[in-house]
Chains A and B, each alone.
Chain A
């Protein structure tokens, strides 16, 4: 149990276009989902916390208008990279919390974004 699916796994787009990445909890309801970005050989950096039915909480330095997060249902959160530029090329991964007291996270497979 506790499966999180993330799509697409790879996406290549032209500079200036927008890209949407989906994160779905398949067998549980996730009131909270997290979005991370990872640069080569670095740790997962939290971008924002996505809460179902409310606005996402962004980490310092993350542009809200560039990275739009929507958590419209208890099983789906989306990250839209708007007007993408080559510097947005990176690995993005989501995770979901199933509640409880341990804070254990269940991750998607990640999405590799390349902006040409």
Chain B
């Protein structure tokens, strides 16, 4: 059974704090890893699509790294803002065909002004 683990489950930070989350996934049969941002009452939206070991992606204050050999990815948020409050989902796609995506349970971030 392929398992994707995210930690922490939830996180409360103050505005301006920097934070990071972890996603662990199987280190074999890797095809891609995605991070999605899911705001309350909205649909999840892709933040990063990562396919190569050592990938580092950055979008504004948010960045992500990928280590496929050891099976982990980190998501970093620098200088958190209240609008960063959301659930961040990690999604692993194995190379078994069909883009069958396995999701972690998410990290729920609360940023207090």
Binding site for B on A (CB under 8 A): 4, 6, 32, 34, 36, 41-44, 46, 49, 93, 95, 97, 102-110
Binary CB contact string for chain B from 75 to 113 against chain A (1 if under 8 A, 0 otherwise): 000000000000001010100001111111110000000
Q: Would you call B31 and A103 a contact (CB within 8 A)?
A: yes
Q: Would you call B104 and A102 a contact (CB within 8 A)?
A: no
Binary CB contact string for chain B from 1 to 45 against chain A (1 if under 8 A, 0 otherwise): 000100001000000000000000000000110101000011111
Question: Shortest CB–CB separation between residue B36 and chain A, in angstroms?
Answer: 8
- A-B pairs under 8 A by CB, number: 55
Q: Would you call A104 and B49 a contact (CB within 8 A)?
A: yes
B63 within 8 A of A: no
Q: Enumerate chain B residues within 8 angstroms of A43, measured Cβ to Cβ.
A: 4, 89, 103-106
How far, in angstroms, from A43 to B25 measured CA to CA in the complex?
A: 14
B contacts with A, residue count (CB < 8 A): 26
Binding site for A on B (CB under 8 A): 4, 9, 31-32, 34, 36, 41-46, 49, 51, 89, 91, 93, 98-106
Given A103-B31, A109-B43, A41-B101 contact (CB < 8 Å)? no
> Which secondary structure dominates chain A's binding surface?
strand
Closest to B44 in A: A107
How far, in angstroms, from A12 to B46 measured CA to CA in the complex?
A: 30
Contacts A49-B100, A95-B44, A105-B34 aside, 14 further interface pairs with beta carbons under 8 A come to: A36-B103, A41-B105, A43-B4, A43-B89, A43-B105, A97-B99, A103-B31, A103-B32, A103-B34, A103-B101, A104-B49, A105-B91, A107-B43, A109-B41
Q: Enumerate chain B residues within 8 angstroms of A105, measured Cβ to Cβ.
A: 34, 36, 44, 46, 91, 101
Given A44-B103, A102-B51, A4-B89 contact (CB < 8 Å)? no
A104 interface neighbour in B34, B89, B104, Cβ under 8 Å: B34
Q: Would you call A103 and B103 a contact (CB within 8 A)?
A: no
B46 interface neighbour in A42, A49, A93, A104, Cβ under 8 Å: A104
